[in-house]
Amino acid sequence: MYMRLMTDFNLIGKIFFAPNTSDPDLIAKAKTILKGNGIREDLIEINYNVQELNEGDLYISYDPPDLVVRKVYAKTPSGFIKMKSTNTIKLDY
C-alpha cells in the first residue's frame, strides 16, 4: 500500500533523494515507489546537500530497509536545516 505523499503536503519546493547507496537497482525501485506515492520522477533530484533545501522541501533518504521522508519546516539564518520525519515507506528489496 502506497501513502500518497503529494496529498499529505502542500508541496511547494524541491524533492531531494539521498539514496545512500550506489546500487542502481535499488535506486530505480525507490524511484518507482516514490512515483507510486504521487511524486513525479522529474521532480526527484538525487542530492545529499541539505544546505540547498528550504522550508517546504522534502528530503528522502534510504535507511535500510525503508525510505524515510522528511519535510523541511525551517531554515535558520545561519543555515541550520530543521526537518521532521513525516513518513516511512517500506522498500522490500
What does the pLDDT look like over 23-56, one tens digit per residue?
A: 899 899 999 988 888 888 888 999 999 999 999 9
The pair phi, psi for residue 33, each rounded to 5°, is: -65, -40
| Per-residue confidence (pLDDT) for residue 91, from 0 to 100 | 82
Asked if residues 44 and 32 have their Cβ atoms less than 8 Å apart, the reply is no
The structural domain count of the chain equals: 1
C-alpha distances in Å from residue 91, one per residue of 8, 32, 36, 68: 19, 10, 12, 10
Domain that holds residue 76: 5-90
Q: Give the E-state strand segments of 1-93 in sequence order.
A: 15-18, 44-46, 58-63, 66-75, 81-90
For the full predicted model, state whether its pTM sits above 0.85: no
Q: Is 13's pLDDT higher than 90?
A: no
Rounded to whole angstroms, the Cα distance separating 69 from 23 reads 20
